């Protein structure tokens, strides 16, 4: 089993739609969680950290369920500019940091 798994996608949604991405991780000792965004042929960039209580940043909401080892990202009112690949990232820390990226989910927002 891979350490971090995501919905394979791709997701093709119309502008204004709400879309949700799911991610699961295998190491129950993982401590830090993030969502990164990667545009085509660009480097990944941090979208938002994921906190235990859940957190929101504008149209983006991240949730963490430690019991189920599950992370989610919700995007409301999708914009064309949201088209990208979304990467779930877990610091699968044991005695040292091990920052693992999921395979990513591709999103295309269609006019």
Please compute, for residue 44, the number of CA atoms within 13 A of its CA located in the half-sphere on the CB side: 18
Q: How far is the CB of 97 from other proteins (least distance, A)?
A: 3
Q: How far is the CB of 72 from other proteins (least distance, A)?
A: 19
- For other proteins, the binding residues (CB under 8 A) are 31-32, 34, 42-46, 49, 87, 91, 93, 96-104
C-alpha to C-alpha distance for 1 and 85, rounded to whole angstroms: 22
Q: How far is the CB of 41 from other proteins (least distance, A)?
A: 9
Please compute, for residue 4, the number of CA atoms within 13 A of its CA located in the half-sphere on the CB side: 24
Closer residue to other proteins (CB): 22 or 76? 22
């Amino acid at each position: 089993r891979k350490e971090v798994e995501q919905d394979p996608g791709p997701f093709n949604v119309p502008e204004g739609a709400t879309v949700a991405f799911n991610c699961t991780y295998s190491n129950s000792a993982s401590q830090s969680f993030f969502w990164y965004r990667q545009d085509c042929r660009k480097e990944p960039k941090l979208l938002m950290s994921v906190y235990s209580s859940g957190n929101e940043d504008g149209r983006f909401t991240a949730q963490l369920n430690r019991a189920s080892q599950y992370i989610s990202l919700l995007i409301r009112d999708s914009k064309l500019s949201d088209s990208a690949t979304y990467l779930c990232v877990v610091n699968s820390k044991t005695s040292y940091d091990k920052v693992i990226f999921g395979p990513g989910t591709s999103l295309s927002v269609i006019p």
